[in-house]
């Protein structure tokens, strides 16, 4: 949900570019298919509520702009991951909190309904040990996460309800400051709390008590400092990049990378182009896209006709105002290889931000995931290293959170 601050979750199916097939050797594809592969930030739950859209059917990124479905997961060798309940930042009012809470609960229900409707292909995972047997049975792994804790309002005990639903990872903020923490991209460009708020510290205590993994992506560097100082379990960055490669507020510097690793944490590399490299201004495209986004509001129920209309408008924007300066697969790998150089293969993973704005030239949807395995092997990393990067590290962080419950 990263094309702009105003972009609502229901629009994330409209964000990537045209597809491109990439050749990887049969040997690497076979290895990739054998690995346990988890992505720590799937925004695909927003697709579940699109009219006429089914997770069980194969879609085309160049046709409806979605990036994850069951057939493509199978072909691209993605076993599953953390399916996000995302809620855009709204007003810090009782009414704003209520609407966000209701939206988030319903989005969580959509995830659970996806699993319940197709138990032959999907299974809910709530502990680190669940992933491997689910994948071995040929099913997709469904962990649940929250991106932006805003829907919890000012009652941190509401976290229990989401935990009972299956949530095991929670991020504190999103594009703007909220009641819990400062965002790295607040429009004011000024801190509100200088890190976690007092309520945010209470939320962290609840997360540690329950065994929920703290997610620092989107939060400010000062929030990460607070989490590293206060959390009793390792911290995860579910979808972030490296400032040393591209100095963007959403990315973290080498000092924070090392501090994260020192506490057992992991950075999961995102593939959101605007955070990977500086791009040339394209004001005509930006204006047209914002006008398109303006037709949507979070929680709006799309009709099939309206969705068809929006897709046609998006395709017309691509025709009239093409994005000719998109980030590439090499840009994505530059961030990953830098993080690996700084903290090693025990502290790096993958959270590409699929269906939330992720995707680059050369890796448009999950069909292209074997390219990551191929690139890591070519960079000299062992099969054991690649296995850690694809799932071992994030599962270790989850296991650590479980082990710290109640302490």
Reported pTM? 0.93
Question: Would residue 243 count as lying in a domain?
Answer: yes
Closest CA to 371 of 330, 401, 399: 330
Number of other CB atoms surrounding residue 195 within 10 Å: 21
Residues 183 and 11: their CA atoms lie apart, in Å, by: 21
Strand, coil or helix: what is 147?
strand
CA-to-CA separations, 178 to 11, 157, 290, 318, in angstroms, rounded: 22, 17, 23, 34
**Span 189-203, mean pLDDT?**
98
Question: Would residue 206 count as lying in a domain?
Answer: yes
Question: Would residue 1 count as lying in a domain?
Answer: no
Report the number of distinct structural domains present in the chain.
Answer: 1
Residues 71 and 366: their CA atoms lie apart, in Å, by: 10
Residues 40 and 83: their CA atoms lie apart, in Å, by: 8
pLDDT digits (tens, 9 = 90+) for 242-267: 999 999 999 999 999 999 999 999 99
CA-to-CA separations, 71 to 6, 14, 50, 77, 391, in angstroms, rounded: 31, 19, 18, 10, 21
pLDDT digits (tens, 9 = 90+) for 334-358: 999 999 999 999 999 999 999 999 9
221's tokens:
């560097």
Closest CA to 8 of 99, 66, 67, 87: 87
Question: Would residue 278 count as lying in a domain?
Answer: yes
Residues 172 and 206: their CA atoms lie apart, in Å, by: 13
User: Which residues, in sequence order, are CB contacts of 250 under 8 Å at separation 6+?
Assistant: 184, 185, 217, 218, 240, 241, 272, 275
Q: Does the pLDDT of residue 21 top 50, yes or no? A: no
DSSP state of 380: T
Structural domain of 362: 9-403
* pLDDT at residue 293, rounded to an integer: 78
Q: Does the pLDDT of residue 15 top 80, yes or no? A: no
CATH number at residue 197: 3.20.20.140
Question: Would residue 134 count as lying in a domain?
Answer: yes
Question: Would residue 3 count as lying in a domain?
Answer: no
Q: Does the pLDDT of residue 8 top 80, yes or no? A: no
Question: Would residue 245 count as lying in a domain?
Answer: yes
Question: Would residue 2 count as lying in a domain?
Answer: no
Q: Angle 370-378/26-34 helices, nearest 10 degrees?
A: 110
Report the range of poorest mean pLDDT among 49-58, 120-129, 311-320, 360-369.
311-320
CA-to-CA separations, 390 to 249, 263, 268, in angstroms, rounded: 25, 20, 9
Residues 204 and 195: their CA atoms lie apart, in Å, by: 12
Question: Are the beta carbons of 240 and 268 closer than 8 angstroms?
Answer: yes
Residues 66 and 44: their CA atoms lie apart, in Å, by: 8
């Amino acid at each position: 949900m990263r094309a702009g601050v105003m972009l609502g979750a229901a629009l994330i199916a409209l964000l990537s570019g045209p597809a491109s097939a990439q050749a990887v050797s049969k040997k690497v594809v076979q290895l990739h298919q054998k690995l346990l592969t988890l992505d720590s930030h799937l925004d695909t739950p927003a697709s579940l509520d699109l009219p006429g859209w089914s997770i069980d059917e194969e879609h085309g990124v160049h046709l409806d702009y979605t990036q994850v479905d069951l057939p493509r997961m199978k072909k691209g060798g993605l076993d599953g991951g953390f399916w996000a309940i995302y809620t855009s930042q709204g007003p810090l009012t009782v009414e704003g909190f209520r609407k966000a809470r209701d939206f988030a609960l319903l989005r969580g229900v959509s995830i659970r309904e996806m699993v319940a409707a197709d138990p032959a292909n999907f299974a809910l995972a709530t502990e680190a040990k669940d992933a491997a047997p689910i994948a071995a049975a040929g099913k997709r792994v469904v962990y649940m996460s929250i991106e932006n804790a805003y829907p919890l309002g000012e009652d941190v005990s509401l976290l229990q309800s989401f935990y009972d639903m299956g949530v095991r990872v929670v991020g504190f903020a999103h594009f703007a400051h909220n009641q819990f923490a400062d965002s790295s991209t607040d429009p004011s460009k000024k801190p509100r709390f200088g890190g976690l708020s007092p309520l945010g510290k209470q939320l962290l205590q609840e997360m540690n008590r329950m065994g929920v993994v703290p997610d620092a992506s989107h939060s400010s560097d000062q929030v990460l400092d607070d989490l590293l100082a206060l959390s009793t379990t390792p911290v995860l960055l579910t979808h972030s990049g490296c400032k040393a490669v591209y100095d963007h507020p959403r990315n973290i510097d080498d000092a924070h990378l090392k501090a994260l690793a020192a506490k057992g944490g992991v950075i999961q590399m995102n593939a959101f182009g605007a955070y990977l490299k500086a791009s040339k201004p394209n004001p005509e495209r930006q204006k047209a896209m914002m006008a398109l986004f303006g037709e949507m509001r979070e929680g709006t129920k799309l009709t099939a006709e309206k969705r068809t209309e929006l897709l046609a408008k998006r395709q017309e924007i691509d025709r009239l105002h093409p994005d000719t300066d998109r980030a590439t697969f090499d840009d994505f790998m530059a961030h990953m290889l830098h993080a690996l150089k700084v903290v090693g293969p025990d502290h790096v993973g993958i959270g590409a931000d699929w269906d939330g704005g992720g995707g680059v030239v050369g890796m448009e949807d999950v069909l292209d995931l074997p390219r990551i395995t191929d690139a890591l092997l070519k960079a000299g990393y062992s099969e054991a290293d690649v296995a850690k990067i694809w799932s071992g590290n994030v599962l270790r962080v989850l296991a650590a959170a479980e082990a710290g419950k109640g302490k």
